[in-house]
A and B are shown apart, each in its own frame.
Chain A
Amino acid sequence: MSRTQSSGTPTAAELRELALTEPEYQSATQQLGRVPNRLELGMLGALWSEHCSYKTSKPLLRQLPSEGERVVQGPGENAGVVDLGGDLLCCFKIESHNHPSAVEPVQGAATGVGGILRDVFAMGARPVALLDGIRFGDLSHRQQRQRFARVVEGIGWYGNCIGVPTVGGETYFDDAYQHNCLVNAMCVGLARRDQLVRARAAGVGNPLLLVGADTGRDGIHGATFASVELDQAAEERRPAVQVGNPFLEKCLLEACMELTSDPDLVGLQDCGAAGLTSSCAEMAHRGGVGLEIEVQSVSRRERGMSPYEVMLSESQERMVLVVRQGSEERFRKAFQRWGLHSDVIGRVIPEPVFRITESGAEVAALPLEVLVTGFPERHPEARAPELRGAPRPDPLERIPPWTPEEAWRRLLGSPNCGDSNWIWRQYDHQVGDDTVLGPGGDAALLRLRGRGDALALTVDSAHRSATVDPRRATAIAVAELLRNLACVGAEPLGITNCLNFGDPDRPEIMWQLKESVAGLAEAARALGIPVVSGNVSLYNQFAGQGIPPTPTLGAVGLLPDLGRRLGAAFVEEGDLVALVGPPGAGPSGVELGGSEYQRLAHGVIEGAAPELDLEMEQRAAGAVRAAIHHGLLRSAHDCSLGGLAVTLAESAIGGGLGARIRPPLEPPRQPPPSWMFGLLFGESQGRYLVSLAPAQLDPAQALFGEHQTAFTELGIVGGRVISVEGVAECGLEVAESAWRGAISSHLEPPPEAGR
């Protein structure tokens, strides 16, 4: 009896393979009024997986603000869309590919990029930029170095081959990620209003076309794979990782770009997680119709594939389209021109059922209501970890292990603060001839042709204090996006989020997820930035140990006048250095809680997360943008990882110019042991380090005063030394050498003489 035809109660092992729980199975049989056969069960398992259904996270994600004047499309389609004005729309989304990248880093990362690209061009938007957030264990371990290097190789290979520039990203290394690396890929695309396509099926009798790669046995149950913890047997799941074909995707992309404004195109969807099953079922469900698919018409790469395998295959580089009856040949010819094979594999039917036939005989039929939305929502218990109640040690009381100078050099030379050029010089960041500011700054800037404005892009994750205060740390991430965009002169338009967490069946992880989403919602609402798309990656766990809560956020902004942009580097000797934002914060004036310095010096996460005043952030960002727009500043850099001292050094190194500043705050009479370190490296919020010509000081002070934002002149650009007077100083060359080698020294052997 063929596998798909067999019925009868599945065993516990079979359910586990499909990542279906017993209650879910019961719910399915109850809703169907019968026992589903194996094929139906497989499809349910795929669509009811966390990755496809968001059954655990959806109840939480509902609280995110997703509407606004500029929002054209919120969460629910392939990607979010915001209006840039002038008939131009921006389509963007971030997505994770964590589990596959842990198993096969090159292909896992590559196919992650491929998948997010398809999500964007499936909307009819031409991808114009990629960004990525990647996290690994400590680089002192060989396996982490290899994984990191291979992920970078994979991202580069796919992005470079397809010709979309990778213009920014975020990289972080910590032992907490050694078993569960994170690879989050973000894609941004542009479309004219009439080019935007929806992913819905409509029109009874309209044919369904499948175009692109042949279907093979790749990644069957990849969606379920993404929804379970990695275990020792993960190595053997290698077949669940697909091999990407960026060349094929480039052809797909160009073909789709030619066809998106075709009036006979009804709906377009890419085949991602759970393959044909999810893409077709979702299209039909959104259109309120049904679909019938004849598996024999699906073009296969391998012989003897069962309907089960065909429907659940996650072979890459495939798209499905619904077109008006009679136009299918025209579409097929258009695809052929690009060397792409396509087949009519089904048609739209009136009953809202997902019907699969094999040589005409029905082998599965599921009501779409059940398949797509019938999963029981999960509300696992959330419980704050015990340490919440306990009195928090004050990080300022710790004895510093180093002098301030030594700490400064170590921070600059640490992979999390140092130069990431080793990574992004492997990415084509210029193709398209529109990259004005590439990787390495606070935000990237892409020129919008024929207009005077520019698109600003950035990616950032929650503050390290997320483990103790996920709510505040996630809110901080939103504030950071705001500041990153403000530094180049841009205003935020929308956020996309990738929530990377451990196993939500553990109450403390579920608590983290709830708190983090609450923090994201609060901050996004307070700052008026809608969350238009996103992705959730749960179960990032190994042998019972989960990753720290890691919400990774991407943001898109608009710089109104490209001529008024700014960078982070000091520009001219003699310019003044100033601090925008509060010179002090926290009960002692400086805050070390959850800082990168704390991680390096003491290896702990302790103390309160930095204070956050969202109203103040909004005022400060507005002030910085206004100052840039009026041409008052020469540089602006967001004070984040590593605090004031690292920010100062980065601006100095970037400009090849030293700087001398006075400390923004006087120490208290009897400062705790780490107070000075808090001054130098604390990650207090709402601060920007800017430089300006002396003649602009008065106008700048006036402008910031009008915006009720603190503006403190601190010092001057020039010389070959970077110093915080009376506290620490570092030679420019020494700082640069440490900073440049931060990542590269781990991956490159020192140059050998005479080889």
Chain B
Amino acid sequence: MSVRFGIAVFPGTWSDRDCIHAVGLTGADAVPLWHADRDLKGCDVVILPGGFAYGDYLRAGAIARFAPLMEAVGEHARAGGPVLGICNGFQILCEAGLLPGALLRNSSLQFRCQPTWLRLEAAKGPFLSSCRPGQLLRVPVSHGEGRFYADRECLAQLNGEGRVAFRYSDRAGALTTAANPNGSLENIAGILNPEGNVLGMMPHPERACEELLGSDHGLALFNSAIHHLGGAPG
């Protein structure tokens, strides 16, 4: 049976179409999930895509987290279901308390759209279990508020529990300042919840699914989830 990816759509979301395209490349099914419906439509995996839900007004993700759909997403996450938050999706997960920390304005105070190298730090959970720690992925970022922040205690916990998923690195895997596009603490680009089924990341794996467009390293995350659920990766 084919794995079903539910792609959340809030007013202002725009990478839903890109996520649907990316999932399509793996051969799995992609189903749009309307924000006002408390209904995951039997999806196995939930993706909160990038965009500017509610214009990012007030704070990115602050309003979207109260959408009826998010109640269902929360239940799914607490039950161990895979949830991937990309960019705005990551911001929504943090605002909803499903992941710790917060995303602030880039330290350059500018929007940045550029390719980055990500060093995989933890190969656990549905989205990363098919990957290797230390693996380098070429994935672009595109955001104005991607600077990850968490207080000292939280950071210690994330590090101690191996819940930092990705860090921005250079092409040799070194964690340099130059490689950090937004000033995130410790070059953190993505994190996991304690159980590992919820992954939040600022870079856009759905934009790295075709060599034609610059990189196909992003496919690994979608294929990993499919493999984890017992389906056949594309």
Contacts and interface: CB of A to CB of B under 8 A. Distances in A.
Interface stretch (A156-164, A369-377, A610-618): A156-164
Interface string B196-213: 000000001011011011
A251 to B, nearest CB: 5
Contact of A163 (B15, B57, B110): B15
B14 A247 contact: no
B159 interface: no
A429 interface: yes
Contacts of B204: 430
Contacts of A698: none
Contacts of B52: 160-163, 246-247, 250
Contacts of A246: 52, 55
Interface in B35-82: 50-52, 54-57
Contact of A161 (B15, B55, B140): B55
B14 A431 contact: yes
Interface string A219-249: 0000000000000000000000000011110
A60 interface: no
A87 interface: no
What interface size band does chain B fall in?
20 to 34
B54 to A, nearest CB: 6
B11 A247 contact: yes
A425 B22 contact: no
A508 interface: no
B186 interface: no
A289 B17 CA distance: 40
A338 B18 contact: no
B55 A245 contact: yes
Contacts of A426: 110-113
B221 to A, nearest CB: 15
Nearest to B55: A247
Choose among A156, A428, A429 the residue with the greatest number of B CB atoms under 10 Å from its CB: A428
Nearest to B9: A254
A435 interface: yes
Given A246-B55, A250-B11, A431-B142, A447 B113 contact: no
Contact of A156 (B14, B17, B111, B212): B111
Choose among A247, A251, A338 the residue with the greatest number of B CB atoms under 10 Å from its CB: A247
A339 interface: yes
A601 interface: no
B146 interface: no
Given A246-B52, A250-B12, A432 B111 contact: no
B171 interface: no
B21 interface: yes
A433 B54 contact: no
A441 B100 CA distance: 41
A430 B207 contact: yes
Contacts of B14: 162-163, 250, 431
A156 B54 CA distance: 17
B51 A163 contact: yes
Contact of B18 (A156, A160, A248, A433): A433
A599 B77 CA distance: 62
Given A426-B112, A433-B207, A251 B12 contact: yes
B89 to A, nearest CB: 14
B126 interface: no
Interface string A434-465: 11100000000001000000000000000000
Contacts of A434: 213
Nearest to A164: B14
B144 interface: yes
A340 B212 CA distance: 38
B114 interface: yes
Interface string A391-425: 00000000000000000000000000000000011
Contacts of A251: 11-12
Interface in A519-571: 562
Contacts of A163: 14-15, 51-52
Choose among A162, A248, A425, A435 the residue with the greatest number of B CB atoms under 10 Å from its CB: A425
Nearest to B206: A433
A428 B142 contact: yes
B54 A247 contact: yes
Contacts of A157: 111
A433 B111 contact: no
A447 B212 contact: yes
A433 B214 CA distance: 10
Choose among B50, B54, B56, B144 the residue with the greatest number of A CB atoms under 10 Å from its CB: B144
A335 interface: no
Contacts of A161: 12, 52, 55-56
B213 to A, nearest CB: 6
A338 B13 CA distance: 12
A427 interface: yes
Given A246-B52, A250-B14, A431-B142, A425 B213 contact: no
5 contacts: A161-B12, A246-B52, A250-B52, A425-B114, A433-B22
Interface of B: 11-12, 14-15, 17-18, 21-22, 50-52, 54-57, 110-114, 140, 142, 144, 204, 206-207, 209-210, 212-213
In the A-B complex, list the 5 residue pairs whose CB atoms are closest, starting with the nearest. A247-B55, A163-B14, A433-B18, A161-B52, A428-B142
